[in-house]
C-alpha cells in the first residue's frame, strides 16, 4: 500500500471510530516521516544516471575504433566498477534511487562490454548467449550489493534471453529446458535482496516460460502445457484464498498471490482459445471455464483484493463477448456487428454491476 492510500485509510478508520484522533495523528505522522517512497528529486537522479550512462556508452561505441585496445578494456572496466561504487556512496547519503541508477549504469556497461569485447576479439556466439552472460553478471552484482534494481534487471534479462531462444515454428533444438532452474536461482536472489517486486516478476517470468514452451511445442504438447498452467493457477488462487497467511509466508509476494494466479489463469485461457481456433464446441467450453473462473474469483476474493476484482471484471467481459459471438455471432451479418457488440457489453456491464453489489454487501457484513 502506498503512502497516500495509507493516509486515507487512517482518516477512514478515525472517521468510523475504529481509532481515536490521537492515535490517528500519531500513525499519520509516523507514515509521513518514514524514509522511502519516490520523491521527485530521487526520480530525477535516477533518470540523470540512466541518461549519463547511455551518453557514455554511446560515446565509447562511436569512438571505439580510435581508442587503443588496452584503453578500451580500461574504459569498460572502469565503468563497470564505477557503477556499484558510486551507487554505494549515493545510497549512504540517502539517495537510494540515484544509487540504484548508478548500479544500473554499471550493469549496462557490463552488457555493452560483452558485445564490444566479443566484437574486438572476434568471439563467436549468438546474441542470446551474450544476454545470458549479462544476466548472470547482473545477478552476481545484485547478490553482492543486495540491489533490488539489479535483481529486477537480471530477471528481465533472463526473460529477454528466453524470448531470443524461442522458435515460433516448432520445437527448437536449443530451447532452454533448464530455464526454471535459472528462475529458482533468481527467486533465491529476490529473497536475499528482499525485493517483493522481483519475486512477483519471477512468477510472471515463469508464466512467460510456459507461454514460450507452448509456442515451441506441438499441438498436443501445447494443450498439456496450457492445462498445466490452468491447473497450477487454480491451485495457487485457492491457496491464496483458503490459506492466505501460509501462502504469503511461503511465497512472500506481498499479497499479490491471487492476482498473479489470475494472470496465469488468463494466459492459459488464451492458449486454449488459440488451440481450439474455429472449433465452436471447444471455444465455448473454454469460454464457460473463463466465466466460471472470473465469477469464482470475484466472489471469493473480490471484496478485499482490488487487483483480483479488476482482473476478474476484465476476464468476465472478454469471455462474455467471446461466448456471445461464438453462439450468436455466426447468425448475424456484418451490418449488425456494432449492435451485437453493444448488447454483449451491456449484458456484461449488467452482470458485473449485480456481482459488485453482492461483493460490496459481503464486504460490509465482514467489516461489522
Same domain, 297 and 362: yes
Phi, psi angle pair for 146, to nearest 5°: 55, 45
Same domain, 366 and 245: yes
On whether the CB atoms of residues 320 and 347 are closer than 8 A, the answer is yes
Print the domain residue range for 165. Answer: 140-216
Alpha-carbon span 147 to 330, nearest angstrom = 55
Same domain, 316 and 238: yes
Q: Which residue is it, cell 453489489?
A: 357
Residue 134 pLDDT:
93
Domain presence at residue 132:
no
153-197: pLDDT as tens digits:
999 999 999 988 876 655 566 788 899 999 999 999 999 999 999
Alpha-carbon span 324 to 330, nearest angstrom = 10
Domain presence at residue 135:
no
Q: Which among 94, 124, 154 is the end of a domain?
A: 124
On whether the CB atoms of residues 218 and 172 are closer than 8 A, the answer is no
Exposed, middle or buried: residue 80 (CB in 10 Å: 0-12, 13-18, 19+)?
Answer: buried
On whether the CB atoms of residues 325 and 344 are closer than 8 A, the answer is yes
Please name the residues in contact with 341: beta carbons below 8 A apart, sequence gap of 6 or more.
321
Same domain, 153 and 179: yes
Same domain, 363 and 228: yes
**Gyration radius of the chain's alpha carbons:** 25
Same domain, 240 and 364: yes
Domain presence at residue 78:
yes
Domain presence at residue 130:
no
Same domain, 329 and 240: yes
Alpha-carbon span 31 to 324, nearest angstrom = 49
Residue 138 pLDDT:
95
Classified as helix, coil or strand, 119 is helix
**Which residues of the chain fall short of a pLDDT of 70?**
1-5, 32-43, 45-46, 49-50, 53, 56-57, 60-61, 63-64, 167-173, 218-219, 327-341, 344-345, 356, 358-368
- How many structural domains does the chain have? 4
Same domain, 41 and 29: no
Exposed, middle or buried: residue 92 (CB in 10 Å: 0-12, 13-18, 19+)?
Answer: exposed
Same domain, 165 and 182: yes
Q: What is the chain's length?
A: 368
The pTM of the full predicted model, rounded to 2 decimals, is: 0.80
Return the number of other C-beta atoms located less than 10 Å from residue 314's C-beta. Answer: 13
Domain presence at residue 134:
no
Same domain, 182 and 196: yes
Same domain, 210 and 223: no
Amino acid at each position: 500500500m502506498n503512502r497516500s492510500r495509507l493516509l486515507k485509510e487512517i482518516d477512514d478508520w478515525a472517521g468510523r471510530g475504529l481509532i481515536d484522533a490521537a492515535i490517528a495523528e500519531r500513525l499519520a505522522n509516523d507514515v509521513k516521516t518514514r524514509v522511502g517512497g519516490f520523491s521527485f528529486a530521487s526520480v530525477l537522479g535516477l533518470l540523470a544516471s540512466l541518461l549519463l550512462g547511455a551518453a557514455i556508452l554511446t560515446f565509447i561505441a562511436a569512438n571505439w575504433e580510435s581508442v587503443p585496445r588496452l584503453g578500451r578494456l580500461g574504459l569498460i572496466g572502469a565503468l563497470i566498477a564505477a557503477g556499484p561504487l558510486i551507487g554505494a556512496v549515493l545510497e549512504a547519503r540517502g539517495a537510494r534511487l540515484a544509487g540504484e541508477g548508478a548500479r544500473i549504469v554499471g550493469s549496462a556497461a557490463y552488457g555493452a562490454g560483452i558485445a564490444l569485447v566479443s566484437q574486438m576479439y572476434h568471439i563467436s556466439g549468438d546474441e542470446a548467449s551474450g544476454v545470458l552472460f549479462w544476466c548472470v553478471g547482473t545477478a552476481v552484482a545484485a547478490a553482492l550489493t543486495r540491489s533490488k534494481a539489479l535483481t529486477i534487471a537480471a530477471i528481465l534479462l533472463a526473460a529477454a534471453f528466453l524470448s531470443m531462444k524461442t522458435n515460433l515454428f516448432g520445437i527448437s533444438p536449443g530451447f532452454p529446458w533448464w530455464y526454471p532452474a535459472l528462475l529458482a536461482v533468481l527467486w533465491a536472489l529476490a529473497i536475499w535482496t528482499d525485493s517483493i517486486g522481483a519475486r512477483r516478476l519471477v512468477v510472471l517470468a515463469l508464466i512467460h516460460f510456459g507461454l514460450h514452451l507452448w509456442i515451441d511445442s506441438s499441438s498436443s504438447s501445447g494443450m498439456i502445457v496450457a492445462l498445466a498452467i490452468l491447473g497450477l493457477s487454480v491451485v495457487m488462487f485457492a491457496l491464496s484464498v483458503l490459506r492466505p497467511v501460509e501462502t504469503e509466508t511461503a511465497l512472500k509476494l506481498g499479497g499479490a498471490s491471487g492476482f498473479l494466479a489470475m494472470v496465469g489463469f488468463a494466459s492459459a485461457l488464451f492458449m486454449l482459445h488459440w488451440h481450439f481456433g474455429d472449433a465452436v464446441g471447444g471455444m465455448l467450453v473454454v469460454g464457460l471455464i473463463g466465466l466460471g473462473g472470473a465469477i469464482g474469483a470475484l466472489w471469493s476474493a473480490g471484496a478485499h483484493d482490488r487487483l483480483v476484482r479488476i482482473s476478474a471484471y476484465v476476464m468476465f467481459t472478454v469471455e462474455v463477448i467471446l461466448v456471445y459471438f461464438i453462439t450468436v455471432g455466426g447468425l448475424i451479418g456484418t451490418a449488425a456487428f456494432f449492435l451485437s457488440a453493444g448488447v454483449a457489453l451491456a449484458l456484461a456491464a449488467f452482470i458485473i454491476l449485480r456481482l459488485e453489489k453482492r461483493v460490496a454487501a459481503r464486504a460490509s457484513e465482514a467489516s461489522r
